[in-house]
Amino acid sequence: MANILKNQKFLCALGGAAAVILGKQILTAKKTRELAVSGLAKGMKLQSDAKAAYQSMKDEAQDLCYDAKAKAGIAEEAAAEPEDEV
């Protein structure tokens, strides 16, 4: 028995088997799923907030550009793109 515990290959195989068993239990645990779902929800919220911030910056830039053109006396194009009506 003492010789088996000193065998490096046996200990590696035993460690690998233990890692597989523990890994499976961790991956199938309810808490792991809850943490994954929570992380995904936070990522989706972050993406939504980033899109809203980008749209806000884009709108402000368009307003500044329009104001600058009006102040400089540059005429806007008469044919604006028609908006889709739903």
Categorize the per-residue pLDDT at 47 as very low, low, confident or very high, splitting at 50, 70 and 90.
Answer: very high
Calculate what percentage of the chain has a pLDDT beyond 70: 80
39-76 core/surface letters (b: 16 or more CB in 10 A; e: else): eeeeeeeeeeeeeeeeeeeeeeeeeeeeeeeeeeeeee
Encoded amino acid at 4, one letter: I
pLDDT at 18: 92
User: Is the per-residue pLDDT at 75 higher than 70?
Assistant: no
Encoded amino acid at 8, one letter: Q
User: Is the per-residue pLDDT at 85 higher than 90?
Assistant: no
Measured CA to CA, the distance from residue 27 to residue 31 in angstroms comes to 9
pLDDT at 28: 86
